[in-house]
Structure 1
Amino acid sequence: MKPITEYQDYRRYMQDYYDERKRVSSFSWREFARSAGFSSPTYLKLVCEGKTRLSLAGAENVGAALHLAGFELDYFKSMVTYCHAETDLEKKKAFETMLELAKNNKVKIVDGEAFKYFESWVHSVVRELAPVMPGAKPLDIARRCCHEVTAGEVRESLDFMVKNGLLKKEGEAYVQVDRHLKGSSAVMPVALRSMHREMAEFAKDAIDKFPPSERNFSGLIMGLSDGDYKKILQELDVCRKKIARIALNSRGTDRVYRLNLQLFPLTWEEDK
């Protein structure tokens, strides 16, 4: 069975545990439930099917039935908190607890690096800026950023990206490594939504911070059918890829920019 840190869904971990026990013995859901202190023989089966959920007290009992102890038990309980979190802030906090538990026990968590990269604007900006400032100190890089960041945060970002193969150091200069961080569909939306919120705030600030010659804002308000909405999404995707190719083939970097492509509803659908 895979290490527990390769899971973000406690239900999947429980199901894999059950399947593995069942494969080599006559293990049953009844026996599993009884070992965790539940009277209903099908309760844990219903949990794994997503038809009910574990409480934190129940997670403690199930963790014991899974023979978990120490940081693995804490990690399992954090998974329960993560899966039942109702807001992005609660979900982010629980996942960061899982990352910290893994780090403190010198194990890696699947999607951990991608989550950390995308949850803040600092890494993506520093990754673009550092290679065009050879020999620059973290404080120099921090001063080039339009939004507040400390030299310590820049240094941590550089170390993180070198460690994870996104930048490499050649003498006193940093060079980008063409590596894309990808994460699971379950975890990454939390970090990406956090970044989108930050960038939306930066876009709002840019209206007053920069003159029109240094930023571009335009928009349309329009009525659309579902079919036309999907056509526009396709056009936006084509446009984004064309712009990415222009940036990829750029001969130099004078500044680091952020492009937001936003299309969102201003009204609710008619109650059908």
Structure 2
Amino acid sequence: MKQVCEGKANLGKKATVKVADAFNFIGIEREYFFSLVMFAQAKTDDKKRFAYAEMQSIAKASKVNLIGVDAYKYYDSWVHPVVRELAPAMPGAMPKEIAGKCVHEVSAKEVKESIEFQVRAGILKKTDDGNYSQTDKLLGGDTQSMSLAVRSMNRQMATFAVDALDRFAADERYVAGVTMGVSDGAFEKIVETLKQCRNQVLEIIANDDKVDRVLRLNLQLFPLTQKIEGADDEK
């Protein structure tokens, strides 16, 4: 059990039952625990989605508020982060008006549902004058429990990045890239540099009080080849 808690081992079917018995999980608690184990050990996104759907179904039936479910839902669609930025920046605007500002197609109904969800989840709050404000200026999305939803978000935004090449003039976007051969050591340094760059951007955002548009920044670094066997670690 100690190795499982430390992430060094997985629970097999028999072990899962034993753990459930040890904690006296019965009924809905037991079903949810089995689905949680399935979610944590799933090897594919489809299997993770299936297990997550089971967890949601169990929680809904028992009226349980699941930790992390709201965050998972938030990162599962591009609509939520865009609406989170637009709603406070457009005081008094109706969902149809907010939808009209989005570059990619979204309905007024989807915007309305997104606002309601974010208020319910505590991501947005409704002010006394009927407008909306963010409960936190910045949100993160790097925890392991949200990895599937964050990957879904990254896929959507990567598609939008391709679309932006033809949709927007060069002075409305910034796209640059470099193809490079690197060692493992250089790779780690580049990743650290990108993390620092992201943090610097977040600092700029945190100190910017006026919003007149919503942008997306993608930082992508990925292999184009397999590793060369026998290559020296240092160049």
Fold-level match, TM-score > 0.5?
yes
User: Aligned partners of 1:249 and 1:184: how far apart in 2?
Assistant: 22
Bigger Cα displacement from structure 2, 183-192 vs 161-170: 183-192
Distance 1:184 1:60, change over 3 A: farther
Please, which of 21, 46, 54 is the counterpart of residue 13 of structure 2? 54
1:169 matched to 2:126? yes
Distance 1:68 1:235, change over 3 A: closer
Q: SS of 1:187's equivalent?
A: helix
1:231 matched to 2:218? no
Unaligned runs of 5+ in 2: 231-235
Residue equivalent to 1:134: 91
Residue equivalent to 2:43: 86
1:189 matched to 2:147? yes
TM-score by length of 2: 0.82
- Provide, for residues 140-194 of structure 1, a one-character-per-residue CA deviation record: whole Å limited to 9, x for no partner: 1112111122222212211121122221111221111127666784422111111
**Alpha-carbon deviation of 1:136?**
0.9
Among all aligned residue pairs of Structure 1 and Structure 2, give the percentage whose two residues are the same amino acid: 44
Aligned residue pairs, count: 227
**Alpha-carbon deviation of 1:258?**
0.1
Please tell me the residue identity of whatever aligns with 1:54.
K
Please, which of 57, 66, 69 is the counterpart of residue 100 of structure 1? 57
Residue equivalent to 1:153: 110
From the CA coordinates, give the structure whose radius of gyration is larger.
1
Please tell me the residue identity of whatever aligns with 2:205.
A
**Alpha-carbon deviation of 1:271?**
2.5
Bigger Cα displacement from structure 2, 200-209 vs 102-111: 102-111
User: Aligned partners of 2:69 and 2:108: how far apart in 1?
Assistant: 24
> 1:131–1:176: 8 Å Cα contact kept in structure 2?
yes
User: Aligned partners of 2:17 and 2:75: how far apart in 1?
Assistant: 32
Distance 1:111 1:52, change over 3 A: closer
User: Aligned partners of 1:49 and 1:235: how far apart in 2?
Assistant: 30
Please tell me the residue identity of whatever aligns with 2:216.
R
**Alpha-carbon deviation of 1:259?**
0.4
Please show how residues 226-265 of structure 1 align to structure 2 within 5 Å: 226-265=184-223
**Alpha-carbon deviation of 1:102?**
1.2
User: Aligned partners of 1:179 and 1:255: how far apart in 2?
Assistant: 15
Bigger Cα displacement from structure 2, 150-159 vs 130-139: 150-159
User: Aligned partners of 1:184 and 1:203: how far apart in 2?
Assistant: 21
Distance 1:166 1:179, change over 3 A: farther
